[in-house]
Structure 1
Amino acid sequence: MKSFLGLVALAIVSLSTLGWAAEPDKDGFIQLFDGKSFDGWKINESPESWKIKDGAIVANGSRSHLFYVGDDKPFTNFEFRADVKTEPNSNGGIYFHTKFQPEGWPKYGFEAQVNNTQGDPKRTGSLYGVVDVLEKHVPDHEWYTETVIVKGKRIIVKINDKVVVDYTEPDDKVAGADFTRKIDKGTFALQAHDPGSTVHFKNIRVKRLD
């Protein structure tokens, strides 16, 4: 009986922990970040590169990736949105169709680039290494919304309400050896790129489309 009651108590605690994300909003989006903790997220290398400040996740430090692990069901077709703000000369990224790995640049999935003024010419909104955006669409120090929509073989990236990438994967697309960059399924990850880059993320939400 004690063992059973203990399991019940654990279940109640688990449900209360996930309660903030349990119900979709009026548009069908579920929040992935509670604004105050890393519950549902897992950091790989260099955990000191991540902190939470003023309700936002702040990436600053040596290479590290923060993976969403709060849902066991992989994301295939979805609309993902995050509010993002960059400091000058900052590089970052939002990965999707990826999976946790303990170190290194994520091999699996795609990266939606975050970079307004850093030296890499691939700017915010790029589907990195697949469709590269060279035009700057938003300034540093200003919150904007980065949206990624995946449905079937099509990927759309928006900066605020502007479509900057509309990519349809060819039927004969083959995954790369170092970085797959091929439509599949998986989770999301945020990137801390280097000690000179500071990127803020908040209001991270997703709506499944399948």
Structure 2
Amino acid sequence: MKSGETVYVPSATATEETGFVSIFDGKSLEGWKGDSTYWRVESGNIVGEITPETILQSNSFLVWQGGEPADFELKLEVNISKDGNSGINYRSEVFPGVPNALRGYQADIDGKNSYTGQNYEERKRTTLAYIGQKTTIEPQSPAGELGDNIEGNAWKGLRVTEELGDPDSLRRLMKSEDWNALHLVVKGNVMKHYVNGVLISEVVDEDTVNRRMKGLLGIQVHVGPPMQVKFRNIRLKEL
């Protein structure tokens, strides 16, 4: 810890929510697995950092080792630098051939809040819902190829069923280079992403060929310029 730094201590309110269990002890990466080049614990936070000396060739994840949640709620707080790009992966699987890589659903996070809260499927169907969208993902034929159904970094089977709010207005609820609260509610084939208590995106996944109903949970540092992202107060409630 650097001189003068304040160590974050979760409040009683944060730690006593019914059914939620802390999955980060605030002191170590016990129960998590990733590349220590990019991940550490500092001042009560999990810190993911890319420096000029450690530029990434592919996205790298710190993966929780406590199981493969199916239906769950996840709550945490995140603080990301202006040029940062990160995310929370869930119902994911190890992506073969790439170190510390996951494939699956992601609650996107970025320092400019261009994408924070959207649903992006890492290394698979790409964007499933942008900020301010409730979508249904249409079924895909088993014979279809993933690449044939992706256009402009979004899934062609994405059908917007409801506007949750003006995207720019929703972005103004997110604090830049400060702590924001994320809350994921994942049940059955419905995935809801909240930021600071506001529903930012919702996906109803009817694509039985490509969807996953359980899987790994992890946090990401993304290829790109030097950046830092911090996570704290990570609590999981399995439903």
* TM-score class, shorter: 0.7 to 0.9
TM-score (norm 1): 0.74
Q: Structure 1 residue 141: deviation in Å?
A: 2.0
Structure 1, unaligned runs of 5 or more = 1-23, 176-181
How many aligned positions are there? Answer: 171
1:52-97 CA-to-partner distances (Å, cap 9, x unmatched) read 111001111234210000x24x210000011001111111010001
- Name the structure 1 match of 2:181: 145
1:122-153 CA-to-partner distances (Å, cap 9, x unmatched) read x1001011102264241322111111111111
CA contact (8 A) 1:169 1:183 kept: no
Structure 2, unaligned runs of 5 or more = 1-14, 51-55, 121-126, 132-166
Instruction: Extract structure 1 runs of 4+ deviating beyond 2 A.
Output: 99-102, 134-137
TM-score (norm 2): 0.66
Q: What letter matches 1:153 in structure 2? A: N
Superposition RMSD on alpha carbons, in Å?
Answer: 2.0
Is 1:157 aligned to residue 155 of structure 2? no
Q: What letter matches 1:174 in structure 2? A: V
User: Percent of aligned positions with the same letter in both sequences?
Assistant: 27
- Name the structure 2 match of 1:30: 21
Aligned partner (choices 110, 113, 125) of residue 108 of structure 2: 113
Measured in 1, the distance between the counterparts of 2:189 and 2:93 equals: 19
In proportion to residue count, which structure has more strand?
2
Q: What does 1:59-208 correspond to in 2, within 5 Å?
A: 59-61=48-50, 62=56, 63-69=59-65, 71-72=66-67, 74-101=68-95, 103=99, 105-107=101-103, 109-117=104-112, 121=114, 123-128=115-120, 129-133=127-131, 135=168, 136=171, 137-170=173-206, 172-175=207-210, 182-194=211-223, 195-208=225-238
CA contact (8 A) 1:92 1:197 kept: no
Q: Structure 1 residue 30: deviation in Å?
A: 0.4
CA contact (8 A) 1:86 1:199 kept: yes
CA contact (8 A) 1:155 1:168 kept: yes
In proportion to residue count, which structure has more helix?
1
